[in-house]
Each structure stands twice: as C-alpha cells, then as structure tokens.
Amino acid sequence: MFQVQTYIYFPVIRIKNPSFPAEIPINDTDTLRKAEPYLDFKRLQGHIELSYYGQPILTEKFGDFIIEYWSYLLNAIEDLMNEGCGGMFLPDQPIPIDFEEKGPNWVLMTVGEGGEYGKWLLPREELIKTLINGAVQFFKELCDAFSDAIVQQRNLKALYEETLDFKKQYIGE
C-alpha cells in the first residue's frame, strides 16, 4: 500500500516565527493560509513523501521547488503510461527519478544516478493512481489554502484543472 503526502517548507532561515512548523503538510489549510505572507511563491519549496508499505521512496532528502516537482513527476508518469518509461530531474538538483515498465504489472522506480538513492519494483497501476491522486490533492489544496491573488498569479487553478483532466483521461475517476 502506498502513502503520499506533500509538505511546504516554511522559510525558517529568513523568518524567525516559532508559531510555524518548519514544514507544513499540504492538507493543513489553516496553517498554510497563515503562512502565505511569508512564502515565496516564485520559489515555493517543499517535498513529497512517498512510501510503499512503510518503506520510504521519496523523502525530505529530495526537497525542491514543489510546484515544478509535481508537474515534472506527472510528465514522467505520462511518459511511462504512453511509452513504457519516463523520467525527470528534480527541478533544482541533478537527481534523476526514472520509471521503467517491467512486464505488464510492474514498474522499476529508480531514484538517483544508477539508483544511488534506491530502486524499487512497484505495482504499476497502484503507483500511477497514487501519484496522480497525490498531484490532484496537492494542486487542490494549494488552491484552497491561498488567496485568489496567489492562485491567479501562479495559475494554480489551471494546474489543478489540468491535473484533474489528466486523472480523468488516464484513470477515469
């Protein structure tokens, strides 16, 4: 069973505010709303936690520009679904994440050059559904948490709608 959660980093280095945690779960809308004035939306940082039966795959070690991270991950998943393999680099780090079909039901997910951070043989459909649903939740929660000005400025509503369309196209839900 997969678990996925996205976190937004509060800029603790620049701003000393003990009322905010260092990282805010994307589903903590109230805290994100309060943090909005302190966040740099052009360089919004965060990380994705992905685990399979408790075994960590993506962790805080791979924190980066989180909007781009999810967008690149969806592009890699789309390539996997259409071509049998897909890949990406983290937006601001030279760390690859690759997906390769291994038979009709399995995907080899590799993190880091040559699997430096790990390789996992994972169930294809469950992985794809988990990542697409994680992206939908991420973009929806961003739209719900932040002001209309931020949502419009960063085209968050459009990203959410594109992700929903992607989900309907590929998994039909």
Cβ–Cβ under 8 Å, residues 23 and 9: yes
CA distance 114 to 123: 21
The per-residue pLDDT for range 9-21, each reduced to its tens digit, is 988 655 566 678 8
Parse the chain into domains and list their residue ranges: 2-171
pLDDT at residue number 32: 94
Q: Which residue has the tokens 């976190």?
A: 7
The per-residue pLDDT for range 89-109, each reduced to its tens digit, is 999 999 999 999 999 999 999
The predicted model gives 33-60 an average pLDDT of 95
* Residue 13 C-beta-side C-alpha neighbours within 13 Å: 3
pLDDT at 71 over 70: yes
Per the prediction, the chain carries an average pLDDT of: 94
The predicted model gives 136-165 an average pLDDT of 93
By CB neighbour count within 10 A (0-12 exposed, 13-18 middle, 19+ buried), where does 172 fall?
exposed
Q: Which pair of tokens denotes residue 137?
A: 């939740």
pLDDT at residue number 13: 58
Give long-range contacts, CB 8 A cutoff, 24+ apart: 18-27: 23/47, 23/60, 26/137, 26/138, 26/141, 26/142, 26/145, 27/137, 27/141
Nearest to 166 by CA among 96, 79, 97: 79
pLDDT at residue number 14: 54
Nearest to 48 by CA among 33, 26, 19: 26
pLDDT at residue number 11: 83
pLDDT band at 126 (very low <50, low <70, confident <90, very high): very high
Q: Which pair of tokens denotes residue 17?
A: 């505010």
pLDDT at 170 over 80: yes
Nearest to 56 by CA among 135, 107, 109: 109
pLDDT at residue number 171: 86
Neighbours of 65 (CB within 10 A): 18
pLDDT band at 172 (very low <50, low <70, confident <90, very high): confident
Cβ–Cβ under 8 Å, residues 141 and 26: yes
